[in-house]
Structure formats: C-alpha cells, structure tokens
Amino acid sequence: MKNVVVIGSQWGDEGKGKIVDWLSSEADVVIRFQGGHNAGHTLVIDGVTYKLRLLPSGIVRKNKISIIGNGVVVDPWALLEEIKEIRSKGVEVDEKNLILSESANLILPFHKEMDEIREDAAGKSKIGTTRRGIGPAYEDKVGRRSIRVMDLISERNLDQRLEKVLSHHNAIRKGLNKKIFEKEQLKKDLLKIAPEILKFSKPVWKKISDFKKENKKILFEGAQGVLLDVDHGTYPYVTSSNTVASSAATGSGCGLDTINYVLGITKAYTTRVGEGPFPTELKNEIGELLGSRGKEFGTVTSRKRRCGWFDGVLVRQTIKISGINGIALTKLDVLDELEEIKICIAYELDGKKIDYLPAAVEDQLKVKPIYKSFQGWRTSTRGIKNFDKLPPNAKKYINELEKFIETKVSSISTSPEREDTILIENPF
C-alpha cells in the first residue's frame, strides 16, 4: 500500500486532471491540501465533463472519500455552488463522502475586493492573480486574524472574529479611499450558510489517522505547480501557498511518513498563465501552434496560456526541491506536427552559463535558454498505449528528457482520454 502526492512540476496546467482521475479510481481517499478555487481540474468520465475547483477529484467517483484540508482557503459560497453544480450532474455529495477541515480558513467578500483593488492599482506591475481573494485570505491566516470554518459554530465568536479582521481591512480601505466594509450583513450571510458548511466539518488529521490504521490508499491532490510555490517559485509571480509535495503533510495534518511516492505531472512542453518570467516562451507561430493543438486555456479563468519549449533546467530543479519520484509526461501528441523540437538544457546569464534558475526575479527575466535540438517524428502518437509503438524520434526525445531531468518517466499521456496512457510504473 502506498500513499501518493500528485503535484505539477511546472507552472500548473500540466494535465493533472486526467492523471488524478485515473489515480483516484484506485485510491480510497482523495485530499486537497493547498490553494483555493483559483485552480481547476477538468475531468471527462463516461462522456460527462466535470470542472472542479475546490472539490477533490475523487468526488465524482462512488465509494471514495474526498477531503478539503486545512491548507486550503475556502470561499464558502463558491464551495456550495460547486456542490450544487456537481449534484446537478448526478453526483452524490454528502457528509459521508466529503469532509471539510474545521481548521480551513475562509475567503470572504472583502478578500476578493482587496485582490481586485491591488491588481488594478499595480498596472504594469500586476502579478496576474485570478482575483478570487486567495492571497489576501492567506495573509489573514498568517496574520492570525482569519475566520476559520470552526468560527461559524458560534455567533458570538464569529462577531468577535469579524470585528478583528475588518478593523485591519477597513484601515487599509480607508487609506485607499475605498468604502469601509460593514460587518452586520456579512455576519448574517455567513450564519445563513453556516449549517450547510458545518455539516461537512471534521478534524481531518484524526480522520487521516483512522484511514492509515484501516490501510486505505490516500491520494494527495495538489493545485498549481511547484514554480508557483511562494518560497520556491518565480517570486513574486507566484501563488500564496506552498505547492511543493511536503505541504501535503502540513496542509492536511499528517506526518511525512504518510507520503510514500511523489508523482510530478509534467507537460512535454511548457506553459504559463499570467505574468512573470518564462525563459523558453515562444512568441511565434510555434508557440501559437502549441497553444491551439494543446487547447491551452485555463479551466477556471479561460485565460490563454503562454507556450514554449520544454525547460529541462526548471523541471530538474523542481524535482529536486519537491522530492519527485517519477513524472507523468502529458500532451506528447501536441508535438506530433513539429519538424524540430527543443529542450532547454542550460541558461546564459550576463555571458555566463548556469544550470539552474536564479532566485532573483531580475535575473530570471534576463536568462537566455540554451537548447538541445531533436528531430520531430511528424506522425501521430495519439492514442498509443505501448512505449515500443511510439515513433523512434519520440522515444529518443523521451529518453533524453528522462536522462536530463534525472528522474524516471512513470507514464506518458498520448491524448486527453484517460485510456490513452502508456503506464510504465504504477505509483500505487
């Protein structure tokens, strides 16, 4: 029995939905451990499309337990809307198959407003957030003034907690010449939905301990990618939480010994949404081709993704930082039409060759990629389920990629369909 953490090894959007769906069919418990409703997974099961934002991928499968951990920031209205949406497609959601950590922090309307105010004021210096209040909610969590799920139990306690958090936010709003946020209506709105939210609330750490004793298979489902990690990503163009594999433990309430395998979802090329450094970005017809063939639009925001060559330097770096044991290589078929394919194997910075992405954003924006070129295979790989049946040049590309990043390729995805996967090693 293994417990598996699934994370993105790039900037997110690596195709986690398909891989997580496949893994969740084998798991007993699926846990979201960080992020909010700013990142989405698209699942297609029996011809039905599910777009999940807060709910773990296991929710669409029968006899699975889905958990939203303490590391997730939760917009309670968005959660209830998502539950309503997925129920309309015939999925059962109740207290038996969905658990919400009592310690999870809430995203409230003033968080979203603050997110919008800051992005609009930043102009050309904007980070490119999804404007859903994720960052401001995490700030309040660290500032110890946040409203948590458990605070909805008592009206008196909720009133006191709102008083504290709004004294902070309203001081900032006044300074920005914005209208102060009134407490009473928000309190009424929260108390109205409190029973619906609280019925899912449990001490998640205790439930995980029970699941371990019962030898249940646990899948920890990450959102975003390692390069958006607040400590290890392209700061400040990052998300507001730790996206690395080790945060699965802190974001759910279990020991590191609970994690047995880390799977890094890795796209066969590179994409990024929003602002920030992107050394291998292609602002030409090849970049457009990758975007159109790969259908590179965000699940949550529908924003067009920036596209570029596979950055081996970055992936090798995220593998080491996050302790990735194997990668699931996705969207190989998107490269089928290309005559030449490139992998970034080093950077040039101020005339010097370096083998890692520096921490300073000024340097990240200046680095120039050094490429190794490969001859394309110019034939379809779509739907291939056996490695030996891949075109010789595709196999060479994968073998060289695997050798460079110093980690084995555990599976290869050859179409968006769940069945079109070359399985080399089962993480479970």
201-202 and 98-101 strand pairing: parallel
Residue entry with tokens 């290309």: 338
DSSP reduced 3-state for 340: strand
CA-to-CA distance for 4 and 12, rounded, in angstroms? 18
CA dihedral of residues 36, 37, 42, 48 (deg, nearest 10): 130
The beta-strand segments (E) located in 334-416 are 340-349, 352-354, 368-375, 409-413
340-349 and 326-330 strand pairing: unpaired
Catalytic residue among 21, 28, 37, 41: 41
The answer to whether the beta carbons of residues 214 and 3 sit under 8 Å apart is no
**What DSSP line would sit under 293-339, residue for residue?**
HTT-B-TTT-PBPEEE-EEHHHHHHHHHHHT--EEEEE-GGGGTT-S
The answer to whether the beta carbons of residues 51 and 299 sit under 8 Å apart is yes
CA-to-CA distance for 416 and 404, rounded, in angstroms? 26
The answer to whether the beta carbons of residues 71 and 250 sit under 8 Å apart is yes
Segment holding 172, helix H or strand E: helix 155-175
Segment holding 248, helix H or strand E: helix 247-250
Q: 41 an active-site residue?
A: yes
Catalytic residue among 13, 115, 140, 311: 13
CA-to-CA distance for 20 and 227, rounded, in angstroms? 19
Closest of 104, 99, 94, 97 to residue 34, by C-alpha: 104
**What DSSP line would sit under 181-207, residue for residue?**
PPHHHHHHHHHHHHHHHHTTEE-HHHH
DSSP reduced 3-state for 292: helix
Residue 179 Rama label (left phi>0; alpha psi -120 to 50; beta): beta
Q: 13 an active-site residue?
A: yes
Closest of 368, 327, 290, 231 to residue 7, by C-alpha: 327
DSSP alpha helix (H) spans, 44-151:
76-87, 109-122, 134-142
29-32 and 98-101 strand pairing: unpaired
Active site residues: 13, 41
